Each structure stands twice: as C-alpha cells, then as structure tokens.
Amino acid sequence: MRKPRTPKPRSIEVYETPSNLGGSFTVSIKEHLPNDRVRVRVWYGRATAKGWEAWTDWDGYVFDTDMSKLTNKQMMALYSETAL
C-alpha cells in the first residue's frame, strides 16, 4: 500500500542576511546550532503557479551564520497565485 503524499508547503518563513557581496540573501533556517548560530538555506528564484523556480546561481546554497544577522522575518510564497 502506498503511503499518502505529504503536501508541499506553499510558503516558508524567511529572513534577510548580509551576503558579504554587497547585498543580502533571502534564507530559511535549516538547523539551530550551538552558540546562537544557525545553518541556513538560500532562496534565489521566484514563485510560479507550478511551485518554486530555482535560479541556480545561489538557490540551495547552505551556510552557517549568527542568528543575530538574520533580519526582516517574513513568510515567502513558494507558489504564485497568478500565472506568469
């Protein structure tokens, strides 16, 4: 018997953090680490009617940072409600 599929999330909690390249990354927390640090995943792309369209330059990049460097907490849609 097949296991029922878990629906994919339609949005995710994200933050902004300095990229150290002159701008910022939009990231989500993957894991909390000791000493007030976190492992984050970069979200680089756009929401479409079919789901997240990743732009391969940075999307999916994972790195560790200080929790204090995460700002502008918000929910980001992974699906667009309108056709592009």
pLDDT tens column, 21-35? 899 999 999 999 999
∠ CA 84-6-57, nearest 5°, is 45
Q: For residue 1, what pLDDT is reported?
A: 67
Burial class (CB in 10 A: 0-12, 13-18, 19+), 15: buried
List the structure tokens of 64: 């560790």
Give, for all 84 residues of the chain, the pLDDT tens digit.
677 777 788 999 999 999 988 999 999 999 999 999 999 999 999 999 999 999 988 999 999 999 999 999 999 999 998 755
